[in-house]
Amino acid sequence: MSLDLAVIGGTGLYRFPGLENIEKRAIDTPFGAPSADIVLGDFRGKRVAFLARHGENHTIAPHRVNYRANLWALHELGAQRVIGINAVGGIRVDMGPRVIAVPDQIVDYTHGRFTSFCDVEGVEVKHIDFSEPYSLSLRQALVLAASNADISVVPDGVYGATQGPRLETRAEIARMRIDGCDLVGMTGMPEAALARELELDYACVALVANWAAGCGDQTEVSLPEIYANLEAVTAQVPSLIAALLALKQ
């Protein structure tokens, strides 16, 4: 059975429930080792790959994730479509805790990360069109799948990618709001750009864990509340992926 889809799990999603006939692959890449072994399994009659972005025990901080190795390994295994699951904070008024969003744009505030496969001496520089950072067809499929599965999603949004691992200040979020950001997360870039360089269809499923600093009605960010929200919203991911796989390609 050929590989149908790859899912990259973020904070709160370290294993993919429901995978059968599981095998683990340790992939060596020109850029080092991925965050964890790639888990291959059958899910609703399709072959799916799963990778825990932060490692199986959340031991890798956002700025230390080997994004190049992760995407290269999935590509090498034959993945053509990749879904990035990202825990985020909400800025826009309809992006409160436990909301699921499928963003359509990115603003990148990260620094010091390897952002391209061209960051190697002697490799030809590849310029990519990144006007639309997520694959439109895959985004549309996710929104349709959510509707079919009776899962409420916000079908757009601007993802602001910050460095982490600390959360942002109120002033930083205020600036991001002025910049047009609706969501804030730490792992959206360079993952999306690297996927584009490899010509992979890539989209983000953003799981809102909390209001960003100074947003909503919260006065401070509560980590226990973040994890409770993540647990609740992450529980919908398998149903969303199942509905996506059920769509005719």
* 55: Cα separation from own chain's centroid: 14
95 is in an annotated binding site: no
Q: Rounded to the nearest 5 degrees, what angle is found at the Cα of 53, between the Cα atoms of 52 and 59?
A: 90
Beta bridge partners of 29: 32
H or E element at residue 71: helix 67-76
Whether 150 and 243 have beta carbons less than 8 Å apart is answered as no
229 is in an annotated binding site: no
210 is in an annotated binding site: yes
Q: Is 63 helix (H, G, I), strand (E, B) or coil?
A: helix
53 is in an annotated binding site: yes
Rg (CA), the chain: 17
Residue 26 backbone phi and psi in degrees, to 5: -90, 110
187 is in an annotated binding site: yes
54 is in an annotated binding site: yes
Beta bridge partners of 84: 8, 204
Q: Enumerate the known binding-site residues.
A: 11, 53-54, 186-187, 210-212
Q: Which residues sit in the known binding site for phosphate?
A: 11, 53-54, 187
Binding residue ranges for substrate: 186, 210-212
